[in-house]
Amino acid sequence: MDELLSLAGRTVLVTGAGQGVGRQVALYCAGHGAAVAVNDFHTDRAEGVVAEVRSAGGTASAYTCDVTDFEAVEAMVASVGEVDVLVNNAGNAGPVLDPMRPAPPFWETQPKEWEPWLGTNFYGVLNCSRAALPGMVERRRGRVITVISDAGRVGEPNLAVYSGAKAGAAGFTRALAKAAGRFGVTVNCVALGSVRTPGVSSALEDAELVKGMLRSYVIRRLGEPSDAAALILFLASDAAGWITGQTYPVNGGYSFAV
Catalytic residue IDs: 162
Dump the DSSP string for 194-245: -B--GGGTTGGG-HHHHHHHHTT-SSSS-B-HHHHHHHHHHHHSGGGTT--S
Angle of CA points 78, 82, 83, to nearest 5°:
95
Question: Within 10 Å of residue 131's Cβ, how many Cβ atoms?
Answer: 23
Nearest alpha-carbon partner for 90 in 153, 38, 156:
38
Nearest alpha-carbon partner for 23 in 224, 172, 178, 255:
224
**Contact (CB, 8 A) for 39 and 65:** yes
Dump the DSSP string for 102-114: PPPPGGG--HHHH
